[in-house]
Chains A and B, each alone.
Chain A
Amino acid sequence: MSITLTQSAADRIQSFLENRGKGVGLRLGVKTSGCSGMAYVIEFADEIGSDDEVFENKGVRILVDAKSLIYLDGTELDYGKEGLNEGFTFNNPNVKDNCGCGESFTV
């Protein structure tokens, strides 16, 4: 079981957390919605839940709840640029199919 970050993703998360001034880490997860079945959740975390799995990678604490972890195991979180836009992307080996925009996926 593992979740990893690229260096650029780790740097951005660090600076966002510092800027926010509070939070114990970053929460990743999935929820069932969207055009292809599931959508990613990426949020600041203020507390660690009882069924959370905690990963430390490149100095950043990542929280994933047990249910989401099944779909996220092995994921690498990246931060990149696309034209003028920039943001996070999930390199998730469990994904079978993306919707056209990549905001939701099926496993």
Chain B
Amino acid sequence: MALLQISEPGQTAAPHQHKLAAGIDLGTTNSLVATVRSGKAEILPDVEGMHLLPSVVRYCETGAPQVGAIAKQSAISDPRNTISSVKRYVGRGLADICKGCSRSEYEFVDSDSSVPRIRTVAGDISPVEVSAEILKNLKLRAEETLGGELTGVVITVPAYFDDAQRQSTKDAAQLAGLQVLRLLNEPTAAAVAYGLDKGSEGVHVIYDLGGGTFDISILRLNRGVFEVMSTAGNTALGGDDLDRIIAQWLIQQAGLDPSALSAGQMRATLLEACRAKEALSDAEVVGVSLSVTDGSVADDAVWQGELTRTQLYELIDPLIQKTLSSCRRALRDAGIDVDEIEDVVMVGGSTRSPRVRELVGEFFHCEPMVDIDPDKVVAAGAAIQADILVGNKPDDEMLLLDVIPLSLGIEIMGGLVEKIISRNTTIPSAKAQDFTTFKDGQTALAVHVVQGERELVSDCRSLARFELRGIPPMVAGNARIRVTFQVDADGLLSVTAREQISGVESTVQVKPSFGLTDGEIETMLRESMSHAQEDIAARMLREQQVEADRIIESVESAIVADAQLLSAEERSQIDVALSELRKMRDGDDPRKIKQAIEALNTASTDFAARRMDASIQSAMTGHKVDEF
């Protein structure tokens, strides 16, 4: 007997035509799958009733890889073949990965395809394949639960994921045999789960403090449309850091040497720290104990102590304050005041801490929303969105807008970045800008697509390179090359370059390239602030240098062509100005370069006028006035 679900009025599907859709929260530590049944988003448990699937995959010599809790158990006994936190590596180059974590937990193999692979007993595995195993497991769980094949899924990604990371997530889904309806930003999913889209218009804040990362997003609901106004965060700050700082305090209080602790002792201390933290949610003071077996004392010796709530707050407040400074930045980016905020949604297990709720509430002047389990809220929102996208709720016109987390642009002469789509632009979005050739007879143009806030290409992340060939030879500056940037609803970028006069076009699929700069967007944003002044100075210098090169080249070619038009005195004046400009060009003062450019211009004005006359004369010689 089939099991039926309640439908919305008039929308009962014909038998065997139920469209099954699911939302997947593909997390760093844990993953979840949810679906909408009888109008309610539900997290789907596995056979044992567990909702969370640990994002851990273990590769074995023979047979299929193990996924979830069973793989997690072997993390200590078989660390090389048990892969956890793979989300940190998805869509990243080897250089990024090595820079990101000093401890190389896995053996990475650099392959030809620039995608790093992890060496296991089952062969070399790419992070995308590991993600695909987790997705396959969730897919199986959903299909067994719902009794049919999934029509499509919505997968959530951090708002900070760049194009390469988003594309890799989609690749993983494809590998797992899932049809991705859409990638959804995690904060947006949380807002949907709380039904903020059906509530009052206004500004909503999503505060997401997970195990290892912190994200803040500011959304505006306007005439039923969700718009992400700004995002900020910290990719290396989370609940684990709270535990670590308490553990350090415990070690210090117990008078232990942190470097002498074994891995097992460290784990025990972290567990004790976590227990104390949770107990202090209710109690004013909690007893703590550490087993002290570092050799200096007899085995089984135990240090006993206590931790008060006040002490705990002193320890964790600085970390919470760090999250609040990200909040402040997000508010500034969005250009809004704290008092304009309607409500604050709490996401992530660490927001269970009453202190976090208290300080966040104080900061935003309102009571945070905590009704939905903060671990499950993102998956629930994704499920609701999937249900709508698959067509189970056709009258619902919810439209979600996300933003581009970092500006997108191209490299121009002098290694400078011309931003085409600026940060926090809502997507989908398309923008175009015209460029031209730099040299006479230039027939090709290299387009280098970069992402970042800095002024120089070397400080930004390189996304792709391609060439536009077949530009008809023209005088420098005559070609009109339109470069169009298009970002689709999933946040994926495609770039087109088209020469307007001849119509030659290069529509190149941007293949995300990996590993040129540290992908840590937080760092990139912070650097763009702290380097703002020197960046602008560097840009001015490069601009003047490019201009100087152009002038030097044109004057030199003019001298070669028409040296006979110059008197010896004029020639020496121009030579002096030329060598002065060459000297200044290699210096670092843009104003001096500009002065030297002007000096050369002045020195060569008469020469230029005479050249013009000469060329007109030669063109007119032998012609009657009528002919012109």
A interface residues, Cβ below 8 angstroms from B? 12-13, 15-16, 19-20, 26-27, 31, 33-35, 39-46, 80, 82-90, 98-99, 101-104
- Chain B residues contacting A31 (CB-CB under 8 Å) are 12
B380 to chain A, nearest CB (A): 12
Q: Are A43 and B6 in contact (CB under 8 A)?
A: yes
4 extra interface residue pairs, beta carbon distance < 8 Å, beyond A16-B39, A42-B6: A31-B12, A43-B12, A85-B146, A87-B4
Q: Which of B40-48, B246-254, B337-345 contacts A (4 or more CB under 8 A)?
A: B40-48
Q: Are A45 and B9 in contact (CB under 8 A)?
A: yes
Q: Are A19 and B39 in contact (CB under 8 A)?
A: yes
- In the assembled complex, the Cα of A3 lies from the Cα of B486 at a distance in Å of 57
Q: Are B9 and A89 in contact (CB under 8 A)?
A: no
B518 to chain A, nearest CB (A): 43
Q: Are A46 and B3 in contact (CB under 8 A)?
A: no
* 22 pairs from A and B in contact (CB 8 Å cutoff): A12-B38, A16-B39, A19-B39, A20-B39, A20-B40, A35-B15, A39-B12, A39-B14, A43-B9, A44-B6, A44-B9, A84-B45, A85-B145, A85-B146, A87-B4, A88-B3, A88-B4, A89-B3, A89-B4, A101-B2, A103-B4, A103-B16
Q: Are B37 and A87 in contact (CB under 8 A)?
A: yes
Q: Are B9 and A103 in contact (CB under 8 A)?
A: no
With A16-B38, A35-B16, A83-B144 known to touch, is A40 a contact of B4 (CB < 8 Å)?
yes
Q: Are A27 and B9 in contact (CB under 8 A)?
A: yes
- In the assembled complex, the Cα of A82 lies from the Cα of B2 at a distance in Å of 9
With A20-B39, A39-B15 known to touch, is A84 a contact of B1 (CB < 8 Å)?
no
- Chain B residues contacting A34 (CB-CB under 8 Å) are 14-16
Q: Are A88 and B5 in contact (CB under 8 A)?
A: yes
- Chain B residues contacting A42 (CB-CB under 8 Å) are 4-7, 12
Q: Are B2 and A102 in contact (CB under 8 A)?
A: yes
With A84-B45, A101-B16 known to touch, is A43 a contact of B7 (CB < 8 Å)?
yes
- Chain A residues contacting B46 (CB-CB under 8 Å) are 84
Q: Does B335 contact A (CB under 8 A)?
A: no
- Chain A residues contacting B354 (CB-CB under 8 Å) are none
Interface residues of A, dominant DSSP = strand
A89 to chain B, nearest CB (A): 5
Q: Are A87 and B3 in contact (CB under 8 A)?
A: yes
Q: How large is the interface on B (under 10, 10 to 19, 20 to 34, 35 or more residues)?
A: 20 to 34
Interface residues of B in 23-72 (CB under 8 A from A): 37-40, 44-47
Question: Which one, A33, A80, A82, A86, contacts B14 given CB within 8 A?
Answer: A33
Q: Does B533 contact A (CB under 8 A)?
A: no
- Chain A residues contacting B11 (CB-CB under 8 Å) are 43
- CB closest chain-A residue, reference B195: A21
Q: Are A84 and B40 in contact (CB under 8 A)?
A: no
- The number of A-B residue pairs with CB atoms under 8 Å apart is 89
- CB closest chain-A residue, reference B11: A43
- In the assembled complex, the Cα of A88 lies from the Cα of B39 at a distance in Å of 14
- In the assembled complex, the Cα of A88 lies from the Cα of B6 at a distance in Å of 8
Which of the listed residues B4, B5, B147 has the most CB atoms from chain A within 10 Å of its own CB?
A: B4
- In the assembled complex, the Cα of A66 lies from the Cα of B472 at a distance in Å of 77
- In the assembled complex, the Cα of A52 lies from the Cα of B46 at a distance in Å of 41
- Chain B residues contacting A45 (CB-CB under 8 Å) are 9
B198 to chain A, nearest CB (A): 9
With A19-B39, A19-B40 known to touch, is A86 a contact of B3 (CB < 8 Å)?
yes
Q: Does B622 contact A (CB under 8 A)?
A: no
Q: Are B145 and A98 in contact (CB under 8 A)?
A: no
Q: Are B15 and A80 in contact (CB under 8 A)?
A: no
B15 to chain A, nearest CB (A): 4
- In the assembled complex, the Cα of A17 lies from the Cα of B470 at a distance in Å of 65
- CB closest chain-B residue, reference A100: B2
- Chain A residues contacting B144 (CB-CB under 8 Å) are 83-85
Q: Does B482 contact A (CB under 8 A)?
A: no
B14 to chain A, nearest CB (A): 5
Q: Are B1 and A102 in contact (CB under 8 A)?
A: yes
- CB closest chain-B residue, reference A13: B6
Q: Does B8 contact A (CB under 8 A)?
A: yes
Interface residues of B in 302-361 (CB under 8 A from A): none
- Chain B residues contacting A104 (CB-CB under 8 Å) are 15
Q: Are B44 and A84 in contact (CB under 8 A)?
A: yes
- Chain A residues contacting B10 (CB-CB under 8 Å) are 43
Q: Are A82 and B6 in contact (CB under 8 A)?
A: no
- CB closest chain-A residue, reference B37: A87
- In the assembled complex, the Cα of A27 lies from the Cα of B14 at a distance in Å of 16
- Chain A residues contacting B146 (CB-CB under 8 Å) are 85
- Chain A residues contacting B5 (CB-CB under 8 Å) are 42, 87-88
Q: Are A84 and B7 in contact (CB under 8 A)?
A: no
- Chain B residues contacting A82 (CB-CB under 8 Å) are 3
- In the assembled complex, the Cα of A33 lies from the Cα of B14 at a distance in Å of 7
- Chain A residues contacting B6 (CB-CB under 8 Å) are 13, 16, 26, 42-44, 88
Interface residues of B in 105-137 (CB under 8 A from A): none
- In the assembled complex, the Cα of A80 lies from the Cα of B2 at a distance in Å of 10
- Chain A residues contacting B141 (CB-CB under 8 Å) are 84
Which of the listed residues A16, A82, A85 has the most CB atoms from chain B within 10 Å of its own CB?
A: A85
- CB closest chain-B residue, reference A104: B15
- Chain A residues contacting B7 (CB-CB under 8 Å) are 41-44
Q: Are A44 and B8 in contact (CB under 8 A)?
A: yes
- Chain A residues contacting B45 (CB-CB under 8 Å) are 84
- Chain A residues contacting B9 (CB-CB under 8 Å) are 27, 43-46
- Chain B residues contacting A85 (CB-CB under 8 Å) are 3, 144-147
Which of the listed residues B10, B11, B16, B146 has the most CB atoms from chain A within 10 Å of its own CB?
A: B16
- In the assembled complex, the Cα of A13 lies from the Cα of B4 at a distance in Å of 12
